[in-house]
Amino acid sequence: MAFEALQEIVFACEQTKKAFWQVIMEDDMTEREVSRDGSMAQMKYTWDAMLQSASGYDRSLKSKSGLVGGDGAKMEDYYKEKGSESLCGEYVDRVIAGALQMGESNACMKRIVAAPTAGACGVLPAVLVPYYTTRGCGEGKILEALYTAAGIGQIIATRASISGAAGGCQAEIGSASAMAAGALVHLQGGNAQQIIQAAGMALKNLLGLVCDPVAGLVEVPCVKRNVIGAVNALSSADMAMAGITSRIPPDQVIDAMREIGERMDPAFRETAQGGLAGTAAGMEIAGRILSRFI
């Protein structure tokens, strides 16, 4: 990628009078030596795969460990029954259900799109699919939002990390949330500066989040962390659309995420030794699963 900072992408947008997504798409055309149509076709393929996995949710599935499955169905039943009566309202409840369902599908060995990782695969589709199906925006607009998200993710991967083993959950769910926040701002008609402000705020809110999977599996707490990633993206995008900015520039937020990840104890970086994995309940579950498998 030609950019090393979100602010550099914003400068490129201002100089060329192009949208954030266009700058990222043109960078992809250069990087992979493909035509505009070639780049778009790959993005459409990716979006179609996301839609397919969202609609392929199986409410009866349980993961092999038995820890995960069925919560996405419960949430779907809840919003269908409560409608606007629930605290978050039907739209946000749909997002919550979508995040749970995709996280569960991943844990149950269904096909998903890692975005940016498999563990965080629920965040982006959770905000995009309900937007696409209930707000009547066209597919083209969603593809633009995906380029926006990918550009943000690339900068985070370059400046910091998108791996839980390297940077904790902040690097997975935090990055996914920043990507989703930027994508939503694009869908809502925000400009490049608002896109990166939303990404910066979303990431900021999840800084320090550790990766502490029970029994080392991508199940507890990963599935529900997808929910906070998605809902945090909605609130960060709305803040950015209201004109609120991050007092710490978004690129420096990413640098802070890197520093926190580097100084994070290894027990909190996907090793299943600390945090929720290290609780009495977590250890008990791990022991039970291990004795069954070995």
Partner 1 sequence: MNIFDILGPIMVGPSSSHTAGAVKIGNISLKLLQEKPVRADIILHGSFATTGSGHGTDRALIAGLLGMQPDDMRIPDSFQLAKREGLEFTFTNKTLKNAHPNTAVLSLTGETGHTIEVQAASIGGGRVEIHKLDGVDAFFSAEKPTLIIYNLDRRGSVSDVASVLSLNHINIANMHLYRAKKGGFAVMVIEMDQEISQYAVQLLEGLDGIQKVVYLNME
Report the interface residues with partner 1, using CB under 8 A.
Answer: 1, 24, 27-28, 31-32, 42-43, 45-46, 49, 63-65, 105-119, 121, 124, 146-147, 149-151, 153-154, 157-158, 162-163, 165, 179, 215-219, 272, 289-290, 293-294
Give least dist CB 226 to partner 1, A.
12
CA-CA distance, 72 to 194, in Å (whole number)?
A: 31
Nearer to partner 1, 93 or 219 (CB): 219
Give least dist CB 5 to partner 1, A.
16
Nearer to partner 1, 63 or 232 (CB): 63
Burial class of residue 2 (count of CB atoms within 10 Å of its CB; 0-12, 13-18, 19+): exposed
Give least dist CB 165 to partner 1, A.
6
Q: What is the DSSP letter of 210?
A: -
Give least dist CB 136 to partner 1, A.
23
Identify the residue whose tokens are 């096909």.
111
Nearer to partner 1, 92 or 180 (CB): 180
Other Cβ atoms less than 10 A from the Cβ of 157: the count is 16
Give least dist CB 61 to partner 1, A.
10
Nearer to partner 1, 49 or 256 (CB): 49
CA 34 → CA 97, 104, 173, 253, 257, distances in Å? Answer: 36, 35, 30, 32, 33
Nearer to partner 1, 189 or 293 (CB): 293
User: Do residues 251 and 188 lie in contact, with contact meaning Cβ atoms separated by under 8 Å?
Assistant: no
User: Do residues 54 and 95 lie in contact, with contact meaning Cβ atoms separated by under 8 Å?
Assistant: no
User: Do residues 63 and 292 lie in contact, with contact meaning Cβ atoms separated by under 8 Å?
Assistant: no
